[in-house]
Amino acid sequence: MKKQQLLDTIASEIEKCDLCKKGKSGKAVPGEGNPDADIVFIGEAPGRTEAKTGRPFVGRSGQLLRSLIREAGLKEEDVYITSPVKYLPDRGTPAASDIAHGKLHLEKQLAVIDPKAIVLLGSVAVQGVLGYKIPVKTEHGKIIEKDGRTYLVTLHPAAGLRFPPLKELLIEDFKKVKTLVKK
Ligand code: URA
């Protein structure tokens, strides 16, 4: 089966998943992008705009993320964008159990795409992918090699929108993004 078909199958599992929907609302937001992407960007959970459209990172944070991707010299259509949590959490912030459950779907997506590098946008992404916590405000910019994959830890774009000095840190970290796949 082609990678896109496999990703579509995972997306329909997410659409039918009652555990994913628990304490959440709106459309499923499985992720989008190139199934052969070298780089995957991973966020937190859909916001209101994403839950309305079913597309990841299309609200204000998404516009910042997408402009950072372009400024890093990449094309949006060449990368893949997703989150560990696939529905809008009623409480805004996902619970640890939401992140742990979302990891199951996310791992399947990553196994299909098999990217060279993953950009972890904030602490929920770190927890959802690496399975442990990192203080992202001090550890951002760090590159981690694990199980044949390269990870770049950075902040969530929403943090950059809330506090402009953090946007500068995101811009600095994104300068490393293209080097991740050159090695
Ligand atoms: N924030 C995220 O982490 N993911 C989205 O899809 C949108 C906002």
pLDDT tens for 115-130 read 999 999 999 999 999 9
Q: How far is the CA of 93 from the centre of ligand 1 (A)?
A: 11
For residue 183, is pLDDT > 80?
no
Among all chains, which residue has been given the structure tokens 């696939």?
A: 86
For residue 92, is pLDDT > 90?
no
* Banded pLDDT at 153 (limits 50, 70, 90): very high
Nearest one of 61, 15, 144 to 129, comparing CA atoms: 144
Q: Any idea where the domains of the chain sit in the sequence?
A: 3-14+26-182
Structure tokens at 90: 């009623």
Cβ 82 under 6 angstroms from ligand 1 = no
Cβ 44 under 6 angstroms from ligand 1 = yes
Among all chains, which residue has been given the structure tokens 């996902």?
A: 94
In CATH, the number for domain 3-14+26-182 is 3.40.470.10
- Whole-structure pTM value: 0.97
Distances (CA, A) of 98 to 121, 125, 128, 131, 144: 17, 12, 9, 13, 24
Q: How far is the CA of 92 from the centre of ligand 1 (A)?
A: 11
Residue of 61, 76, 82, 105 to test ligand 1 pocket, by largest number of atoms within 8 Å of CB: 61
3-state DSSP assignment of residue 41: strand
For residue 108, is pLDDT > 80?
yes
Q: How far is the CA of 2 from the centre of ligand 1 (A)?
A: 27
Region of 124 (left: φ > 0; alpha: ψ -120 to 50; beta: rest) is: alpha
Distances (CA, A) of 165 to 3, 9, 46, 137, 160: 39, 41, 24, 11, 7
Ligand 1 closest atom vs CA 122: 3
Q: What is the pLDDT of residues 39-91, one digit of tens each?
A: 999 999 999 999 999 999 999 999 999 999 999 999 999 999 999 999 999 99
Residue 32: other Cβ atoms inside 10 A: 18
Cβ 61 under 6 angstroms from ligand 1 = yes
Query: Residue 84 in contact with residue 42, Cβ under 8 Å?
Result: yes
Q: How far is the CA of 177 from the centre of ligand 1 (A)?
A: 19
